[in-house]
Structure 1
Amino acid sequence: MWRFFFIIIFVLSLAGCSVTIDSKNSESNSDELSQEQQQKDETNGTDSVAEQDSEQNQDSNGFIDLLENVFNIDWSTRVDIEARDVRYLALGDSLTRGVGDETQEFGYTIRLQKELEKWPAVKQVELDNRGKNGRRSDQLLGLLQKGHYDEEIAEADLITLTLGGNDVMKVVKKHLFSMQKSMFDKQLPKFMVNYEEIMSEIRMRNPEVPIILVGFYNPFSIIVDETTPFDPIIHEWNIEIEKMAQQDENACFVSIEDLFTSNEDMVYHVDFFHPNSAGYDRMTRRIIETMQQCNIKEMSDGLFGFEEWENGNE
């Protein structure tokens, strides 16, 4: 915008400096002037025009110099002068790893990385994806307690976390032919203790980093194509994660359980358990929308935002 502003001023300045020479009455006065006086006047007129041209050139050159000095700042880019590289750490299970994404873009993580890089305060996003297929809350907690990812967490400018699906699947596998809701109700407090301790481990290493807690969905709905007993179970677990996020001023919960209730839009991978690329696209949109609602710009002191999304160009 500044470039066009200065160009307009520059053009108007040059237009205002244009010189016109009125010689309308030169012929009518030529008979009254002597040849010597006429030559003298012509000489003076030439000098006057030359002086005006010289002044015009000086003004133009000075203005051009000013523009060149201004344009030493790269106004053509959307990146702020003080934009910096940021580190994005992704922790969690197969959803973080991007299992099922046929484009090999690590699911939502690379998609989110690309959107973050569009923000003027961000020069480049370094993604460190530590997701692992099958990871449960107790497994991630054990790694953190042993000092894994200490440096990565301490240096992170943004952290995303996906957990819960494999904790539920552990109950399913253990009680496949005798499942009751009470079994999941018994496991939920253990899961939440693990989750809270994971958050505590992260906060000990990085007290203010924004943490995006992504919920999980019921993959069995696609198999039976109807409401299953797992729907209220998944919902209750997500509610508890959301409550925990609300207790941390720099945490934000993202609900995705409604995004994968059917496969009408072909959002599932061929394993009918993980999202495909279209599913991860949908998941990324939800994450960004929720980050905006959580005011990620204020949460990150202006470091993160989504300008194009705010302008309705998604």
Structure 2
Amino acid sequence: MYKKIMRCLVAMGTVFLVNISTVDAANKKSINFVAVGDSLTEGVGDTTSQQGYTKRTAQTLTDKYNVGVKTANYGKAGDRSDQILKRIKANPRAIKQLKNADVITLTVGGNDLQQTLFKAIFSKSRQEVTRYVSQAMPDYTENLTSLVQFIKKQNKDAPIYLFGNYNPLYVYLANRDDLNADVKIYNDINANLASADKQVRYVSTFKTLTYGQYTTKKDREKLRTSAKLANRGSINNSMVTKALQDKAKSERNHYITTQDHYHPNDIGYDKMSDLLVKKMAVNKQEWLKK
């Protein structure tokens, strides 16, 4: 077929390169996109009824690749890694849709980390907080592995895009390097699992959602200096507590919602979707080609 096309082009005196993949391979007309996870998949903080990054991504894929996208969202606020697995296992419809998925996304770890930090927040030292987090690593690693393995058991072909987490308190506590480090401990677990599993792709959100509009080192150093001068060393600091509890005030991170100063807002979910689409583009043959 390819040679026949080339002979016709030569006969017409037309000279240009034809990529054989565009001739022999065709895109799917529609794909099944299944999102699993916690509040970031549910879309808490989204005011546009697009289920956070999920339907934003679906629309972008339709626009970019001229493909229909059917979405299924199994996100639930507050769920830890073990709770997500338990919920999905008990849902026959979710299992069926996972089996038929072309693309699977997963947000997990934020609630595991949050609950660990809250238990440790009254610790006497930052080192002790990090020790609490490190001690929780084996359980989280086991739970995450079990969750991913269960998803893979339902579908051995669809790529799984595993999001990392971020530090929503950074703009208030820029002098607390340990909090960023603690988030990175959990992110390393996600990233390492992805690097060891050819079906899993890691999508990092840390820099984008943690730093928000403070994209330069100079901007972040100003935040750090401000936090030091205000003696903001703990989330129980009165200034930080007041800012986090006052829903009428604007959020200092432009990508985080004022509803709870924790979840992404509409801009934040736009950013999450952009990061996901860029990662998906790298291996589009895994989910787009027939």
TM-score between both structures, scaled by the size of structure 1: 0.65
154-163 or 223-232, larger mean C-alpha shift: 223-232
What is the DSSP-based 3-state SS (H/G/I as helix, E as strand, rest coil) of the residue aligned with 2:208? coil
Pair 117,248 (structure 1): closer, same or farther in 2 beyond 3 Å:
same
- On the 8 A contact 2:35/2:72 being kept in 1, the answer is yes
How far off is 1:142 after superposition?
1.6
Aligned position for 1:255: 204
Matched, 1:162 2:162: no
Gaps of 5+ in 1: 1-79, 304-314
Find 2:159's aligned residue among 210, 235, 250.
Answer: 210
CA–CA separation in structure 2 for the residues paired with 1:89 and 1:277: 21
CA–CA separation in structure 2 for the residues paired with 1:162 and 1:244: 14
- On the 8 A contact 1:161/1:213 being kept in 2, the answer is yes
- On the 8 A contact 2:42/2:73 being kept in 1, the answer is yes
260-269 or 180-189, larger mean C-alpha shift: 260-269
Aligned position for 2:178: 229
Aligned position for 1:267: 255
How far off is 1:248 after superposition?
2.0
Aligned position for 2:87: 143
How far off is 1:147 after superposition?
5.2
- On the 8 A contact 1:94/1:134 being kept in 2, the answer is yes
Pair 152,181 (structure 1): closer, same or farther in 2 beyond 3 Å:
same
How far off is 1:192 after superposition?
1.1
CA deviations over 1:146-183 (Å, ceiling 9, x no partner): 45521111111111000111001111233331252111
Percent identity over paired residues: 30
Matched, 1:285 2:274: yes
- On the 8 A contact 1:222/1:272 being kept in 2, the answer is no
How far off is 1:249 after superposition?
1.6
What is the DSSP-based 3-state SS (H/G/I as helix, E as strand, rest coil) of the residue aligned with 2:118? helix
Aligned position for 1:177: 122
CA–CA separation in structure 2 for the residues paired with 1:144 and 1:261: 29
How far off is 1:82 after superposition?
6.8
143-152 or 191-200, larger mean C-alpha shift: 143-152
CA–CA separation in structure 1 for the residues paired with 2:184 and 2:283: 25
CA–CA separation in structure 1 for the residues paired with 2:160 and 2:152: 10
- The alignment yields a C-alpha RMSD, in angstroms, of 2.1
Higher RCO (CA < 8 A, seq sep 6+): 2
Gaps of 5+ in 2: 1-24, 214-252
Q: Write the letter of the residue equivalent to 1:300.
A: W
Q: Residues 37-116 of structure 1: matches in 2 within 5 Å?
A: 83-116=28-61
CA deviations over 1:71-98 (Å, ceiling 9, x no partner): xxxxxxxxx9874322111111111111
- On the 8 A contact 1:108/1:281 being kept in 2, the answer is yes
CA–CA separation in structure 1 for the residues paired with 2:101 and 2:211: 35
CA–CA separation in structure 2 for the residues paired with 1:282 and 1:234: 19
CA–CA separation in structure 1 for the residues paired with 2:159 and 2:264: 25
- On the 8 A contact 2:256/2:265 being kept in 1, the answer is yes
Find 1:196's aligned residue among 145, 153, 163.
Answer: 145
Aligned position for 2:76: 132
103-112 or 262-271, larger mean C-alpha shift: 262-271
- On the 8 A contact 1:144/1:198 being kept in 2, the answer is no
CA–CA separation in structure 1 for the residues paired with 2:26 and 2:86: 41
Matched, 1:299 2:286: yes
CA deviations over 1:105-144 (Å, ceiling 9, x no partner): 111111100111135462x211111111111101012224
- On the 8 A contact 1:159/1:212 being kept in 2, the answer is yes
Q: Write the letter of the residue equivalent to 1:276.
A: N
TM-score between both structures, scaled by the size of structure 2: 0.70
- On the 8 A contact 1:92/1:130 being kept in 2, the answer is yes
CA–CA separation in structure 1 for the residues paired with 2:195 and 2:211: 29
